[in-house]
Amino acid sequence: MSDEEKKEEVVVAETVEEAVEAVEEATEAVETAEEAVAEAKDVVEEVKAEEKPAEPVKEEKPEPSGKFKDLIKDIESLSVIELSELVKALEERFGVSAVAPVAIAATGVPAAGAPVEEEKSAYNVVLTSAGSNKIGVIKAVREVLPDLGLKEAKDLVEAAPATVKENMKKEEAETAKEKLTAAGATVELQ
């Protein structure tokens, strides 16, 4: 065997050794990547489990009857956002308000010219603007409305101004307003 052939064999052997080392390094990198993927999948599953709202308790309702049967079924199939849009459209169409009438409790006859102050018994929480922290506001909306899914909460926030919840007691409405305001939203009580 000539010197050139020996040199060629040495070069080939070194190249093979380098290739084997590269394959071993690549195998280690693949194993590390697989471990990272498995960890990421676990994290995604945890997040998904946290985001799933509890199944709302469905009450057994009697089947609608009469001439409004189809209309009632159509309304029951609407999402919260779609219902909100329907209410707004009906208010505009007929020039009415869906806000429950407020009873005025007077303990006596007010003095002439004195303004009568109403004590409301029910409040509506209206999201006028989501602000710059939409994700935080979406989370706050889901705290106020735990039965609302992530998509519905997102749609509600993006549809601002929108009514978040209607006919709430003053304390509940104030608490909801505080949560939403703390998240960066602009909220009104009506």
**What phi and psi values does residue 142 have, to the nearest 5 degrees?**
-70, -25
| Architecture, CATH, for domain 121-189 | 2-Layer Sandwich (3.30)
Distance CA 2, CA 104 (A): 113
For the ranges 15-19, 24-28, 51-55, the one whose mean pLDDT is highest: 24-28
Which pLDDT value is given to residue 106?
Answer: 47
pLDDT digits 0-9 by tens, 105-154 = 444 555 555 555 566 778 888 988 888 888 889 998 998 888 888 888 88
Specify the 3-state DSSP secondary structure of 45.
helix
Angle among Cα 46, 52, 57 to the nearest 5 degrees reads 145
Give 55's pLDDT tier (boundaries 50, 70, 90): low
Every domain of the chain and the residues it spans: 1-37, 121-189
Nearest C-alpha neighbor of 145 from the set 161, 166, 159: 166
